[in-house]
Homo-oligomer: A and B are copies of this chain.
Amino acid sequence: MNGAQTLVNTLVDQGVDICFANPGTSEMHFLAALDNPRMRSVLCLFEGVATGAADGWYRMKDKPASTLLHLGPGLANGLANIHNAKRASSGMVNIVGEHSVSHLKYNPPLSSDIEGLARPLCHWVRRADSADTIAWDAAQAVEVASEHPGKIATLILPGDVSWREVKSPATPPVGNRPRKAVDPARIEHVARILRSGEPAMLILANKATRGRALDLAGKIAKATGARLGSQFFTARIERGAGRTPIERIPYAVAQATAFLAPIRHIITVETVEPVAFFSYPDKPSLMKQEGTSVHPLVEADEDSELAFEALLDALGASQTTGLVQERIVTPPPTGALNPISIAHALAAAIPENCIVVDESLTTGRESMGLTMGAAPHDLINNMGGSIGYSTPVATGVALACPDRPVLCMVGDGSAMYTIQSLWTQARENLNVTTVIFANNSYAILKLEYANMGAGEPGPQAMNMIDIGNPKIDWLAMAKSMGVRSVAVETAEDFTRTLAECLAEPGPKLIEVRL
């Protein structure tokens, strides 16, 4: 057994059983090792698709996927979605091919400082030294990636380490990951705040916005009158009818500040206090009211479920029933497509168990709030702000949950960064419906231009925001990569088409002409 085979075996032993790959010459032995029935390999035509898909996989599975990338530039192409995954606390194991040690000294064209490229965005970076130790390297990578919160681990794999025979095979133990409880003093402190009756909001994030942790948060809210909020972007929220409802803090600084104005106590759970996404000349960075206190309840590496149980105990409220979002049936929308009719279309068409990956920016920002009472679904957001996250993440999500419909909502500008995802969706026949909101502009930037106080854009600046010349033909784009597609121009058509697409297997694309 050679180094590459040992690596693949160890990854699978440790629970990493999918590899999103974009291979090159230096990875040929790893490719050969992928002929292992326990590892699923998924080909991506661009590395940003591979790393984004690994992010999506983690968000649904709570365990890391692996990627295969080709030397420094292959890693570089994957970095933007590694940044997004890191900010979403998604675990991931990247295998980056590298020249053999004996070849590196000649500085061949594809050589670069791979460690240097990896370090700014990865939690753990190691260069495999020998085939004999690679099992330990791989086990350590998975161990780090599987921590809570998830981490980015990157293992650099020189060609000769891949192809050399392993002399003394090792089977590292599978890591054991205990849950980290919260300091009882912090629980007591927050219990006192909540008992005071002063306006308070728990801001939930990461693992606290789903499953039992979310139910427990609902009980705390019910027992104390505290509100439940989330940042504008969250890694994954279980929401809709029957779920514990969470209020979303608005994106725009002025609206967020107004939203938070009545709150006296912000209690943070796996997150920090709300911060503006960008800085603006005349706006604050922190969005809370002056005088509002911030109380960390659960730090990023602690366990929300354990903390909420202890808090309910401290409050004497363990037997409280939780909050439940009612089903809200909105009228099927008619006529023109606008944020309201789009929201009603979504509320009507999203099926139970759907996973919604949202990167709709301008269009979706106003719409999603109106889908609180839709059938129960998962909502996934872009945590890192690097555009081009959604179509790759939807790809990984669909592979993780083959029995659930996936709805990917994306603006036309955003979709173009990693559009190669469609090809992998067609190849793997994934149940992803991609909705392109085609407004033919970087519309979000028109708003931001004004927010920045940069005045009225001149013709040249406006030209840099306009992507309507030429208009992207989304039906042709989908066809080019083997995805069925349809365009809609009315709310009725959108509602009906969306429901149909989400009910059928396989990938589809809907161009929403705005």
Contacts and interface: CB of A to CB of B under 8 A. Distances in A.
Interface in A186-234: 233
A106 to B, nearest CB: 4
A170 interface: no
A48 B29 contact: no
Contacts of A107: 272, 275
Contacts of A457: 31-32, 35
A28 B454 contact: yes
A291 interface: no
A331 interface: no
A176 interface: no
A48 B163 CA distance: 32
Given A116-B120, A285-B106, A463-B43, A278 B472 contact: no
Interface stretch (A313-321, A420-428, A493-501): A420-428
B279 A160 contact: yes
A28 to B, nearest CB: 4
Copies of this chain, count: 2
A413 interface: yes
A21 to B, nearest CB: 6
The bracket for how many chain A residues form the interface is 35 or more
Nearest to A103: B279
Contacts of A23: 442, 445, 464-465
B77 A32 contact: no
Nearest to A114: B120
A303 to B, nearest CB: 23
A480 interface: yes
Interface string A32-60: 10111000010101101000000000000
5 contacts: A28-B445, A71-B386, A163-B281, A423-B472, A474-B480
**Lowest 5 A-B CB distances belong to which pairs?**
A470-B482, A35-B458, A103-B279, A73-B386, A116-B120
Interface of A: 21, 23-26, 28-29, 31-32, 34-36, 41, 43, 45-46, 48, 71-74, 76-77, 79-80, 83-84, 87, 99-100, 102-103, 106-110, 112-113, 116-117, 119-121, 159-160, 163, 233, 272, 275-279, 281, 285-286, 383-388, 413, 416-417, 419-420, 423, 426-427, 442, 444-445, 448-449, 451-455, 457-461, 463-465, 467, 469-474, 476-477, 479-482
